[in-house]
Structure 1
Amino acid sequence: MTSLNDLPLRDDLRGREPYGAPQLDVPYALNTNENPYPPSERLVKAIGEAAMGVAGTLNRYPDRDAVALRADLAAFLNTDTPAAGLTVERVWAANGSNEIIQQILQAFGGPGRTALGFEPSYSMHPIITAVSGTRWVNAFRDEDFGLEPERAVAAVEEHRPDVVFLTSPNNPTGTALPLDAIKAVLAAAPGVVVVDEAYAEFRRAGTPSALTLLDGHPRLIVTRTMSKAFAMAGARLGYLAADPAVIEALLLVRLPYHLSAVTQAVARTALAHGEELLGGVEALRRERDAVVGWLRAEGFRVADSDANFVLFGTFPDRRKVWEGLLGRGVLIREVGPPEWLRVSVGTPGEMAAFRTALQQVRGGTTPRTPPAGFAGNSEESL
């Protein structure tokens, strides 16, 4: 049998592990920040009809620039943030926000170039950076997971990166950045600044979006996704807003016809039913704030969250706690700072199960054995 070591793999990829959170059959999966509310029967029917509508044309390539979809995305962003004033020329879409990040690094990164981020943050930023041949620099977040503008600027001035990643709300901490910090980085950065807003729809009232900074900042890129608030993780649709020149740059590296006709049809249908899909966001915000309050009342440290997840701790042995919860059918995420754990916000019933299981684990009750063959969170080894 041929092994990976027998293949002429790139040297910088040797020893790496594929990215991925555990996918286990458990009663309460609270580890990947999914929206727990599935589409209604009405929306399921509409999505099916949309797919059928393009099925008869699948012998032809789709609109390679996804113009109609981008127009719909621009309209949504203008509703979400009226000050954005976006047009189709300033919006781009791809297969999930990870492909968006990949395209950005293909266009503005590469061998001899540098990308800078502030960890703990979204682990795919350094992973995709490395795969693109770009050098990664971790400038670290503050102890409270925030980012002081002066320190951020100092890091940018020291390393002069071609790409800067700012994540707001931040994953895995849930921390949102003030606009002053983003403005300061924009003023100092010699290259593009990417503000990853995958969880923006969950932000608390009064928390602004970087979309308001697009005018006058042609090197600012704001990325979003339909995987979280829109409950469309299975549709794989990410998008960005930026200056039209940025879109022109991405056209140079995108694969031909990268968004299928079915993906475009499904995403447009979801946007047309946005009021329904986003209807659960407020409930998830309330559930998030409730679990933050409960965890703090129980004596845990909890990071302020503007997302649909909560980072809490601290644990001398977080793996033991994680396994204890898993043994009770509750799967959360072992990610981020070493002594912390992250739980996605689910339905009231799911969160009740999480609270009960955590109390039992904390009380020292012997947990059941995790599923056979489970090797842990592969993200931790990347």
Structure 2
Amino acid sequence: MTRIDDLPIRDELRGKSPYGAPQLTVPVRLNTNENPYPVPEPLVRRIAERVTDAARSLNRYPDREAVRLRTELAGYLTRTTGFPLDHDRVWAANGSNEIIQQLLQAFGGPGRTALGFDPTYSMHALISRGTGTRWVSGPRRPDFTVDLDVAVATIREHRPDVLFVCSPNNPTGTAVAPETVLALYEAAQEARGGAGALVVIDEAYAEFSHRPSLLPLVEGRPTLVLSRTMSKAFGAAGLRLGYLAADAAVVDAVQLVRLPYHLSAVTQATALAALEFADTLLGYVEELKSERDRVVAELRALGCDVTDSDANFVQFGVFDDAAAVWQRLLDRGVLVRDYGIAGRLRVSTGTRPENDAFLEAMRTVVKDLENDRHDRTDRNEKAEDNR
């Protein structure tokens, strides 16, 4: 049987694994940061209306520049952040991953470097390698925040062409302060002789944050880009619609590498319908924020170490064997994410009943772990006495 590494793939892809999380059939699935609320029925009907209209002209290519959609996205950002934008400063693609890919195709590539601060969204590194861009992993503090002094030193050493700042960060949930982002932006420009480094703020989870959006920072900074998605706050993971806000010149640049007619007429119609219901969908976001904060408080009451979260998920631990805790939760019908950070797991925020089920399972697991520790202690003491 032929293996991937038997094929003549590029060297930087050898030994790598595709992105993905286990998809198991369990009562409570809280491992992929999806919005747990189904699309409301009025929106379902509106999507059907818009898609029906779009279907009547499927013999024609869609609007290549998606001007109407970009205009509505600009309006959404303007209304929710207070920062005015026109459509020429917004671009849309098939998920924020395609936004990242287009940015790396335009500003990265062979002989160029991208840098991020791990642990962070693993697709930044994966897409960098996929576009032939060298990836450099910068460190974080033990509390998963960015150490500005160390970060600046790393930027000066590697002089990245593209710098990723994920805020709120996935998988830790930590947000980055505006002054830190500005310092990183300035350091990246200085490292490349005063200008030329593209800095991408990944705000996929921005609507769930306790903090305001970092969007106003793009003003007057032509190589600062903010990336968003409709997958999370809009509950539209199946839609695959991401977008960016930046200087109009950046929008022009990514159009040099985008595929022709990359956004289907059906995708554009569905996204436009969802934007009509933005206020309703953001109401669900407020419920999820409240539930996330409740989960944080409950986990801490159980003695877990919980990272402050500005996203729709929570990182928690610290466990001697995180994989074993993951399995114990799964045995109780709850699927969370084991993503490789020693001693820690990540749980997405679900509906209140789903969160209740997770917390009840955690109470049982914590109690079982405590009993196991007592049993080991007793066995060790008895063994010592029998010497």
Same fold (TM over 0.5): yes
- Give the drift of 1:149: 2.7
TM-score, normalised with respect to structure 2:
0.91
What is aligned with 1:329?
Answer: 333
1:70-93 Cα shifts (integer Å, max 9, x gaps): 0000000001111x2111010000
CA distance in 1, matches of 2:100, 2:15: 23
Between 1:91-100 and 1:145-154, the stretch displaced more is 145-154
CA distance in 2, matches of 1:244, 1:147: 29
The SS at the match of 1:363 is helix
What is aligned with 2:300?
Answer: 296
- CA radius of gyration, larger in: 2
Structure 1 residue 351 corresponds to structure 2 residue 355: yes
CA distance in 1, matches of 2:135, 2:269: 36
Instruction: Please tell me the residue identity of whatever aligns with 1:292.
Output: V
- The RMSD of aligned alpha carbons is 1.2
Between 1:90-99 and 1:133-142, the stretch displaced more is 133-142
CA distance in 2, matches of 1:228, 1:111: 32
TM-score, normalised with respect to structure 1:
0.92
CA distance in 2, matches of 1:17, 1:3: 13
What is aligned with 2:178?
Answer: 179
1:285-333 Cα shifts (integer Å, max 9, x gaps): 1111111111111111000001100000011110000011111110000
- Give the drift of 1:224: 0.3
1:198 to 190, 204, 207: 204
Structure 1 residue 62 corresponds to structure 2 residue 68: no
- Structure 2: tracts of 5 or more residues without a match: 190-196, 370-387
Structure 1 residue 19 corresponds to structure 2 residue 23: no
Contact 2:78 2:85 survives alignment (8 Å):
yes
- Give the drift of 1:3: 4.5
Structure 1 residue 163 corresponds to structure 2 residue 162: yes
Structure 1 residue 147 corresponds to structure 2 residue 146: yes
Contact 1:114 1:135 survives alignment (8 Å):
yes
Between 1:333-342 and 1:59-68, the stretch displaced more is 333-342
- Give the drift of 1:144: 1.1
The SS at the match of 1:142 is coil
- Give the drift of 1:6: 4.6
The SS at the match of 1:25 is coil
- Give the drift of 1:13: 2.0
Structure 1 residue 85 corresponds to structure 2 residue 84: yes
- Give the drift of 1:69: 0.3
What is aligned with 1:216?
Answer: 220
- Give the drift of 1:8: 2.7
Q: How many residues align?
A: 362
Contact 2:104 2:128 survives alignment (8 Å):
yes
Between 1:211-220 and 1:334-343, the stretch displaced more is 334-343
What is aligned with 2:41?
Answer: 41
1:265 to 269, 278, 292: 269
